Structure 1
């Protein structure tokens, strides 16, 4: 097998589906997926997340190589031949992978690499709101209400590994073995309930607390934290999404707060 160096080998088949990165399937004795990133910080973060998951035997592709400082930045991951878990089975099948991922603890809050790291989850969330209101100053008054809630909510949690980009298509079921989670570019250390809140936003649920069934009898404090995270993820869409439909939906969901 030729050394993996981030270059696209002859015969590689492009399987790009998104807009930010280019992705190829590389056949061979050990097939792999090669990813080129438009944002090197995301490459560094995904490489760090996959390395950590590989170390812990987590439900994710194995990292075979990475060049976050390359031009372009890249990662190589084991090829996964699997179909996405159907949307109507997603919440049921997430329980196992979630438990495995969220058992992995971290030394700080925030992204694993390529971005500022925070001493506490509380500081990280304030930092995210700073980012959103800098991008969309008109959101500042509504964000102030969430900041007040942040400061009155018990967030004394041990940071755990989060996928932080959960949506249909990212959970797949191989023919052999357990389900796997793909696309770890936005992975972070924080509160596992934030993963569920992100998923509720992506599923555009009328009742977002439906996803809490994965958490198994959440406490009142957990429900309060989940609802706050759901609003913060809506702020992210409203301020940063490049898709006008998603941006409008985020603002609509925030509703009377704007």
Structure 2
């Protein structure tokens, strides 16, 4: 995937230093850019009071985008989800000439890096802790189904939310010519029928929508199994008030399928705090179909990546087969 231009070269570090001091009133002892992120540019800052991160968006760079992320992160923190605390927010008129915010730094290692170094018992505790963290997140109720936690786009019902999202995807896929009609329309028709069968009792909950290992942190000293805050969640740019089962789509693709040893402890940790909702599997297959479809205009046009696209061709083909859709495949 082509990395956005601003993710290649950070703005001058001195501008980040000045921005941090203007926002927090603190003198910077040390500052260094962090590389590797797709969604943000970030600088790690050390001051007399501790370590912080100053962040600005790349794919979603506007003030409204930043406000939606900050709103989600603050809600999560208030709901006892372990996540960095937002301590300052700046608009696009500051030294960076881009909206930015400052958050606390959680000492530890991202889950992807940490897992490669873990013994079996440590991986079990990590999976259990991740399940507990996500269950805590999903206990946070939303006032209304919404595409973000600032309520920028909301829906009267969950079926309306899913139908609207599907219609946007159909239009985007048509415009990008990312799938042949012989695949797109049968998938869309089946998804429409599945959406119409969704339980009307589903309630909006805070949903991260980007839960995979690089967006988690294993604290420097992993607490014992069952301890609160064992795993932290990062990067809230996709967060919404959705059916929380939506989070299990990405978990399945990027966590459980690649690291099957985490599946059982995750579910043990999750269900120790919250029961899986009724109809979990039936709801999950709807959201899988929507997310698999979403990959085609995204990786086929918006952010081209042939390798990712090939992977989603296989995922969508498997989904079509499970739902008895014969004929053309992606």
If the length of structure 1 is used for normalisation, what is the TM-score? 0.85
2: distance between equivalents of 1:19 and 1:94?
Answer: 23
Higher relative contact order at CA 8 Å, sep ≥6: structure 1 or structure 2?
Answer: 2
| Separation (CA, whole Å) in 2 of partners of 1:175 and 1:26 | 18
Counterpart residue number, 2:280: 222
Post-superposition offset of 1:96 = 1.0
Alignment of 1:4-153 (within 5 A): 4=23, 11-28=30-47, 29-38=49-58, 39=60, 40=62, 41-67=64-90, 71-85=97-111, 86=115, 89=124, 91-109=127-145, 110-113=147-150, 115-137=152-174, 138=179, 139-153=184-198
Gaps of 5+ in 1: none
Which residue does the alignment assign to 2:296? 238
* Distance change in 2, residues 1:46/1:81 (3 Å): same
Choose 35-44 or 21-30, whichever is displaced more: 35-44
How far apart in 2 are the matches of 1:64 and 1:58?
16
* 1:191 paired residue number: 243
User: Does the 8 Å CA contact 1:62/1:77 hold for their aligned counterparts?
Assistant: yes
Change (3 A) 1:200 1:155: farther
Give the CA deviation at 1:181: 0.5
| Aligned mates of 1:140, 1:113 — CA distance in 2 | 33
Aligned-pair distance for 1:167? 0.8
- Does the CA contact (< 8 Å) of 1:59 and 1:101 recur in 2? no
Match status 1:213 vs 2:250: no
TM-score when normalising by structure 2: 0.68
Unaligned runs of 5+ in 2: 1-19, 117-122, 222-228
Within 1, Cα distance between the matches of 2:135 and 2:256? 23
CA RMSD in angstroms, aligned pairs only: 3.0
TM-superposed CA distance for 1:118, in Å, is 1.8
Structure of greater Rg: 2
Q: Secondary structure at the match of 1:136?
A: helix
